[in-house]
């Protein structure tokens, strides 16, 4: 990760939100702002490994979705909530019975 120091000016109401309402995004205001920016970049489909906008980079978007699904499944398995076999069966049922 590359570190840069920047000065940000926000209205008091925004600082209040960053300081109190977004505490789940990080321990410090810097971490919270960093996570908001990173989330915004990914939600708007920017590929951080490329200089181009990823809206048409379908492989990249599918790879990101695959990583997200795999991570969620691994966590569910670790917590013994659902096995990968149960998840596959549920997924196939939804795929083949969806309108």
Same-domain pairing of 40 and 59: no
Q: pLDDT tens per residue, the chain (99 residues)? A: 678 888 888 888 888 888 888 888 888 888 888 888 887 777 666 655 655 555 556 677 777 778 878 888 888 888 888 888 888 888 888 888 877
Range of the domain at 82: 55-99
- Which ranges constitute the DSSP H helices of the chain? 12-16, 29-43, 58-78, 84-97
Query: Is 59 in the same domain as 95?
Result: yes
Q: Give the pLDDT score at 50.
A: 59
> pTM for this structure?
0.45
In this structure, is residue 67 part of a structural domain? yes
What pLDDT, on the 0 to 100 scale, is given for residue 53?
Answer: 53
49 vs 52: CA distance, rounded Å: 9
| pLDDT value of residue 23 | 82
């Amino acid at each position: 990760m590359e570190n840069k120091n920047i000065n940000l000016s926000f209205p008091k109401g925004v600082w209040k939100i960053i300081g109190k309402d977004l505490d789940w995004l990080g321990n410090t205001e810097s971490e919270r702002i960093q996570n908001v920016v990173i989330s915004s970049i990914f939600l708007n489909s920017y590929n951080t490994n490329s200089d181009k906008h990823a809206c048409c980079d379908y492989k990249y978007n599918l790879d990101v979705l695959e990583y997200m699904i795999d991570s969620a499944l691994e966590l569910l398995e670790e917590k013994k909530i659902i096995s990968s076999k149960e998840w596959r069966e549920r997924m196939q049922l939804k795929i083949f019975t969806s309108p």
